[in-house]
Amino acid sequence: MALVKFALPKGSLEAGTQEILAKAMLRLRGVERTYRPVVDDRDIEVKILRPQEIPLLVSGGAYDIGITGIDWINETKADVNILLDLEYGYVRLVVAAPKSSKLTSLDEYVEEHAQRQRPLKISTEYLNTTAEYVSSTPSYRKHFGGKQPMIVTPWWRKGENELVKIYLSFGATEAKPPEEADLIVDASATGITLEQNNLKVLEVVAESTAMLIANKQSYADPLKREKILDIMTLLKGVVESGKKLHIFANVHQDNLETLLKSLPALKSPTVSQLSDKGWYAINTVVSKSEFMKILPTLRKLAQGLVVHEPNLLLPLEEILQKSGGKV
């Protein structure tokens, strides 16, 4: 029996999730044929689900950990531990309207429809997020005070404000205006789909990336927490590796001290003497952003410079702190 149940997202996050797991030495096998692929670590049981479902399923204990977007964690108000921003699957949650409209903001839409006593119709998968965002606009507060927008699904309705209606969308949200909706609130990665459907972005509600989350009870369990921290360490290593460069450089002793003093980005580099008298090897890791700044100095003072991207940098000290300092 597996020690940890791991929920993975289907859809827009699927490819990025498989990629980061493979880099973390947790490659999935059979993912093309089943929603229950196998990972080489037999202590981990995997199932692929819609990202919308994962926060509540992890919160409820059906799964110990999961990967989903922060947009769905916020939308569902799931009570989970957010362990790590995985820094892929970036999208913006936006309010969009037909290009033909002269209105330029959500607040203007609320104001116009309120003055005309005509219901403002919004289509979205993000019912709670949209209701909160619309309610925060100045025009909404002016005309409707603390009334809740009406949320409409095929099964139930919630809220008392008939003049602002938020309709549950089952996909293809960008196709709803102008017949079924005046506005949409939807996730957009590039904006191309909105453009193709003659929509324009009015404003950005939020930004989202993929997150590693954990059930709070599972994380409190000593055995499960150790396996969760193992997974977190590997994934964190992939994230950090993408930002770093591993540098090897040979430098003559005449230039050694000057080089080290001139490179503040080189934190505690490994310096070792080579077999050729008077020559030293420097081995260190720097951020990609710092590398271009220090390259001129390296070029002038070092010889035999080798630079490569590390496959996996494991943040062991950071993870040790999360485990309570226990080994």
CATH number of the domain bearing residue 280 = 3.30.70.120
Confidence grade of residue 315 (pLDDT, cut at 50, 70, 90): low
**pLDDT 10s digits, 243-262:** 888 888 899 999 988 888 77
261 shares a domain with 227: no
211: CB partners within 8 A, 6+ apart: 67, 68, 69, 70, 73, 82, 83, 84, 85, 86
Q: Are residues 56 and 199 in the same domain?
A: no
Q: Is residue 322 assigned to a domain?
A: no
pLDDT at 293: 85
Distance CA 284, CA 272 (A): 12
pLDDT, one tens digit per residue, over 258-270 is 888 777 555 678 8
| In a domain? residue 78 | yes
Asked, as a colleague might, if the bond just before 178 is cis with ω within 30 of 0, I would say yes
How many domains does the chain divide into? 3
Give dist(CA 228, CA 313) in Å, integer.
18
- Verify that 64 and 107 share a domain, yes or no: no
- Residues 6 or more apart from 131 whose CB is under 8 A from it? 148, 149, 151, 159, 166
Say if residue 255 is in the same domain as residue 110.
Answer: no
Q: Does residue 174 share a domain with residue 278?
A: no
Residue 304 pLDDT > 90, yes or no? no
What is the domain range of residue 293? Answer: 244-309
Check whether residue 202 and residue 248 sit in a common domain: no
**Token pair in block for residue 12:** 């827009």
Instruction: Give per-residue pLDDT as tens, 117-161.
Output: 999 999 999 999 999 999 999 999 999 999 999 999 999 999 999
Residue 213 lies in a domain: yes
Say if residue 101 is in the same domain as residue 162.
Answer: yes
The answer to whether residue 184 is domain-embedded is yes
Q: Examine residue 105 and state whether it is found in any structural domain, yes or no.
A: yes
pLDDT of residue 71: 97
At residue 317, the pLDDT reads 59
For residues 183 and 249, membership in a common domain is answered with no
CATH number at residue 177: 3.40.190.10
Final residue before a domain boundary, out of 217, 241, 265? 241
Same domain? 128 vs 62: no
Look over the chain and give the mean of its residue pLDDT values, rounded to a whole number.
92
Give the pLDDT confidence score for residue 132 in this predicted structure.
Answer: 97
Beta strands in 112-198 (DSSP E): 120-124, 149-152, 157-158, 161-168, 183-188
Residues 199, 153 share a domain: yes
* Range scoring the smallest mean pLDDT among 6-10, 13-17, 74-78, 309-313: 309-313
Based on the fold, state whether residues 136 and 272 are members of the same structural domain.
no
In a domain, 314, yes or no: no
DSSP output for 224-270: HHHHHHHHHHHHHHHHHHTTEEEEEEEEEHHHHHHHHHH-TT--S-E
Task: Convert the pLDDT of each residue in 8-26 to its tens digit.
Answer: 999 999 999 999 999 999 9
The reply to whether 224 and 268 lie within a common domain is: no
pLDDT band at 112 (very low <50, low <70, confident <90, very high): very high
What pLDDT is stored for residue 327 in this prediction?
40
